[in-house]
Structure 1
Amino acid sequence: MTNHSHPSTTTTHSFKDLISMRQAVQSLFLAISLFMGIMFYLFVAQLESGAMPTLERPPGVEAFLPISALISLKYFLFTGVFNTVHPSALVIFLIVCTTALVVRKGFCSWVCPIGLMSDGLAKIHSWLFKRPVHLPTWVDLPLRAIKYTIAGFFVWSVFFKMPLAAVEQFIQSPYNTFADIKMLDFFTNISTTSLCVISVLIILSIIVKNFWCRYLCPYGALLGVISFFSLGKIKRDKNNCIKCGKCETMCPGRISIMENETINSLECSACLRCVDVCPAPNAIGFSLVSGKVPMDQRKIALVIIAAFLTGITTAKATGHWQNGTRIQAYQEHVLQDRMSSQPPMKIPANTDPEKMKRMIERMRQKKN
């Protein structure tokens, strides 16, 4: 095996530099997500005030609607029509899946806000425990199957069980049309049950590193399956490897690196921790097309950012970014939702029905 198959082993960047670069990219996407979230919150707040919004609804919030994206993908594949309800959800979903074909589950370790949170919780784990806490294999394997089962359920339900007519009906339904507002409401008016579940997941992620990502995330599971066909792979040169085990210790996916020369694990997120921590020159590296295209952390960051910029720019140019739902429809939905959440008005028994009808009619006229 030639040295050019192991591009990143000769890098002069320290492990701290690598983490800083990866976290810088994660922080960039986190900042974008927070900005979009705030803008969407203000947009909905203006709707709830009854005024015509002066702020635009940020299309990028649809990145958090993966089920809508999956259903839109089936509709597009079977009809050739890019639906206008949540088009950017499908655009972002396609971008993420495309990156998986190049840099594996790079989305998980370079973009996903939950991945960044998991890194932070993993640091707390390291402060609390002298040695990493790993579940035994007989527990770990069944738990890892959960995320693939969930992902498989959604793919099977949408692509094999859901008729095309039902797909179209779902896309046009109020449930899907206003799913972004429901998503915001979930976070701004979180229930006690949801808060308890999230708290438990946080605690579990402190005890067992990357608990959510390793065992429960269906999005990561789907990307893992796609990454099986990825051009990018970790390569290990057994002649240069000194079998120190540092790569496996550092790997968040707990991949058995020293047992293989080519790493094609569904758990690999191209974080490159294993590459940079390796003390042996030319022992391990990440590359494309069987080692022909060397990839370091800078190139992976460039691939991911370029994929998002290219995909979003193309979607904007072709009219597949902004949704087609009218502002008036959003206003009506918010008004109806607010009215339905209020307790019913108690009408005195001696109220004149005709007088009540006239009052309601005047209120309607005033509204119009």
Structure 2
Amino acid sequence: MNLIKVRIVISGVILLLFVFLFTGVEKMSVLLSEILPPFQLIPALLRTIIQPEALFIAGLIFIILVTFIFGRVYCSFLCPLGTIQDLLIWGSKRIGLKSKQSFSKPHNGLRYTILALVVAAAVIGFLSPASLLDPYSLTGRIFTYFLQPLIIQIYNLGILTLKPFDIYLYPRQTAFIPLSAWVVTAVFVLLILYFCAQHGRLYCNTLCPAGALLGLISRISFFQFTLNKTACSECSQCETVCKAQCIDVQNAAIDMSRCVG
């Protein structure tokens, strides 16, 4: 099994764990809520600053250390929203919605301004911007507001089919979701769908504070991708498959601050 398949398997398992976390039965959700957040950048960072715990500190150190060595590995397969976007990009290609990729200049002004505002707000105790854009929190809202109600409805329909066999189970109730929160999350979902179909992982490299922060570290990561100027035929095939649009064949350069593997 090559490294790409290993990454796909690991990211798939991690995403499945997040599905169980936000939509699963109570005991499983409680267990996963203790294991997964420490290894998500923004939750680990905020918890380490506000209320330090050994596991969150260890998770933060792990993410930063891995980024210093290999680049944005976190964004490649540890981030649930990143895996969701990879699935959407793959699906867009399968149904013919995906535009042909090419190098795109970075929106550094936007992404670092957002990062600065999120950090400044967090420093004064205002965590809403971080919660709004953080991929862990956004994934939680997507699963809780859209996937969980669907699963509950399917479960309740399944209960009805068992009644003729004298098997009776208690139906599950969907939790109340504020309309404003649902609408905001729906807007983010539509935005991410558009980005994935037209620009790949653009959310990760413009709006995501975790991506911006790790991008700064990735600029000086120990292992970096480079283009072999001698061997390169400038066919631009690598540009067309780069989901971060960070390969610049014309200038034989790869923007490691945006590369997500």
Equivalent residue in structure 2 for 1:123, among 90, 103, 106: 90
Does residue 243 in structure 1 map to residue 211 in structure 2? no
1:227 is matched with which residue?
A: 218
Aligned length: 214
Q: For 1:141 and 1:263, how far apart are their aligned partners in 2?
A: 11
Equivalent residue in structure 1 for 2:112, among 140, 148, 162: 148
**In the alignment, is the contact (CA less than 8 A) between 2:38 and 2:56 conserved in 1?**
yes
Instruction: Give % identity.
Output: 23
- SS across alignment from 2:226: strand
Query: Deviations 1:210-241 (Å, cap 9, x if unpaired)?
Result: 34223211111111111112001012211111
Alpha-carbon spacing, 1:240–1:56, altered in 2? closer, same or farther (3 Å): closer
CA shift, 1:113, in A, is: 1.3
Query: Deviations 1:316-344 (Å, cap 9, x if unpaired)?
Result: xxxxxxxxxxxxxxxxxxxxxxxxxxxxx
Does residue 33 in structure 1 map to residue 13 in structure 2? no
Q: For 1:133 and 1:235, how far apart are their aligned partners in 2?
A: 19
- SS across alignment from 1:266: coil
Does residue 195 in structure 1 map to residue 163 in structure 2? no
Q: How do 1:214-293 and structure 2 match up within 5 A?
A: 214-261=205-252, 263-269=254-260, 271=261
CA shift, 1:32, in A, is: 3.4
2:45 is matched with which residue?
A: 70
Structure 2 unpaired stretches of 5+: 128-136, 145-174
2:80 is matched with which residue?
A: 113
CA shift, 1:243, in A, is: 0.9
CA shift, 1:37, in A, is: 4.7
TM-score by length of 1: 0.48
1:207 is matched with which residue?
A: 194
Q: For 1:62 and 1:263, how far apart are their aligned partners in 2?
A: 31
**In the alignment, is the contact (CA less than 8 A) between 1:109 and 1:115 conserved in 2?**
yes
Q: Specify the code of the residue in structure 2 equivalent to 1:191.
A: P
Alpha-carbon spacing, 1:204–1:42, altered in 2? closer, same or farther (3 Å): same
**In the alignment, is the contact (CA less than 8 A) between 2:226 and 2:253 conserved in 1?**
yes
Q: For 2:241 and 2:225, how far apart are their aligned partners in 1?
A: 14
Q: For 1:153 and 1:262, how far apart are their aligned partners in 2?
A: 30
CA shift, 1:111, in A, is: 1.9
Q: Specify the code of the residue in structure 1 equivalent to 2:38.
A: A
Query: Deviations 1:333-358 (Å, cap 9, x if unpaired)?
Result: xxxxxxxxxxxxxxxxxxxxxxxxxx
Query: Deviations 1:290-336 (Å, cap 9, x if unpaired)?
Result: xxxxxxxxxxxxxxxxxxxxxxxxxxxxxxxxxxxxxxxxxxxxxxx
Q: Specify the code of the residue in structure 1 equivalent to 2:56.
A: A
Q: Specify the code of the residue in structure 1 equivalent to 2:8.
A: Q
1:90 is matched with which residue?
A: 57
Alpha-carbon spacing, 1:57–1:257, altered in 2? closer, same or farther (3 Å): closer
Alpha-carbon spacing, 1:193–1:244, altered in 2? closer, same or farther (3 Å): same
Q: For 2:78 and 2:84, how far apart are their aligned partners in 1?
A: 11
1:297 is matched with which residue?
A: none
Structure 1 unpaired stretches of 5+: 1-12, 45-54, 76-81, 171-179, 272-368
Q: For 1:148 and 1:231, how far apart are their aligned partners in 2?
A: 22
Q: Larger relative CO (CA 8 A, sep 6+): 1 or 2?
A: 1
Larger Rg computed on CA atoms: 1
Q: Specify the code of the residue in structure 1 equivalent to 2:72.
A: K
Q: CA RMSD in A?
A: 3.8
- SS across alignment from 2:216: helix
1:21 is matched with which residue?
A: 6
CA shift, 1:103, in A, is: 1.2
1:359 is matched with which residue?
A: none
TM-score by length of 2: 0.65
CA shift, 1:40, in A, is: 8.0
1:333 is matched with which residue?
A: none
Q: For 1:264 and 1:231, how far apart are their aligned partners in 2?
A: 14
